[in-house]
Amino acid sequence: MTTRVRLIELAPGGAADAEAVDRIMGAAFDPRYGEAWTRSQCIGILAMPGVWLTLARVDDVVVGFALVRAIMDEAELLLIAVDPAARRRGVGAALLRGVIAECDGRGVARLHLEVRANNPAVALYAAHGFVRAGVRRDYYRGTGGQTHDAHTYARDLRA
C-alpha cells in the first residue's frame, strides 16, 4: 500500500496575496452569516502596524489563511479560513499553531478571538486551549438581515 502525506507549508503573506485570500474567503464562509470580509477590508488592515497574514499551502496552492492583529502584548485572531476542499486534514490546526508561535515570538501574552455562536470552528479553538470570555449579541448580520451572536474566546500564552 502506498501512503501519500501532503505537507502543509506556512508562510507570511501580504497585499499581493489578496486574490488567494479572496478566493478562500469566498469559498470558506457561508454568506448567510455575514462573517466574511471584503478584499478591500483585508488589504486595508494589512497596511496597519501589528497586522500579519499567514498563508497555508499544500502542493504550492494556497488552501487557507489566518489574519492577526497585535497591539502591545495583546493580539486578536481576526480571521482563519480553510478551503472546504482541504478541510479536516489539519490545515486549520497548523495555522492556529503557527499564529500562536508567531504571537509567542512577538511577546504576546493573550490571544483573543470572536466567533459566531454555533460555528464549528469553536471545536478547533477549544482543542487549542481557548476559553470562552463573553458574548456580543447580534454581532453578525447575515443575508436577509438576520443577526447572530458572537462569542469571544481568549487564551493566555504565558500560562
Ligand X SMILES: CC(C)(COP(=O)(O)OP(=O)(O)OC[C@H]1O[C@@H](n2cnc3c(N)ncnc32)[C@H](O)[C@@H]1OP(=O)(O)O)[C@@H](O)C(=O)NCCC(=O)NCCS
In angstroms, the CA 129 to CA 43 distance is 30
84 near 118, Cβ under 8 Å?
A: no
- Residue 15 or 123 having the CB closest to ligand X: 123
What are the φ and ψ backbone dihedral angles of 33, each rounded to 5 degrees? -105, -10
Return the residue of 62, 121, 150, 154 that touches ligand X, per CB under 6 A. Answer: 121
In angstroms, the CA 99 to CA 113 distance is 12
Return the residue of 15, 61, 127, 131 that touches ligand X, per CB under 6 A. Answer: 127
The three three-digit cell numbers of residue 114, written as one number? 470572536
Kindly indicate which of the ranges 38-46, 104-112, 123-131, 134-142 contains the residues binding ligand X, using the contact rule CB under 6 A.
123-131
Helix (H, G, I), strand (E, B) or coil at 88: coil
Q: Looking at residues 58 to 117 of the shown chain, list those that interact with ligand X (rule: CB under 6 A).
A: 79-82, 87-93, 115
89 near 124, Cβ under 8 Å?
A: no
Give the shortest CB-73-to-ligand X separation in angstroms.
22
Give the shortest CB-29-to-ligand X separation in angstroms.
5
Contacts to ligand X by CB under 6 A: 28-29, 79-82, 87-93, 115, 119-121, 123-124, 127
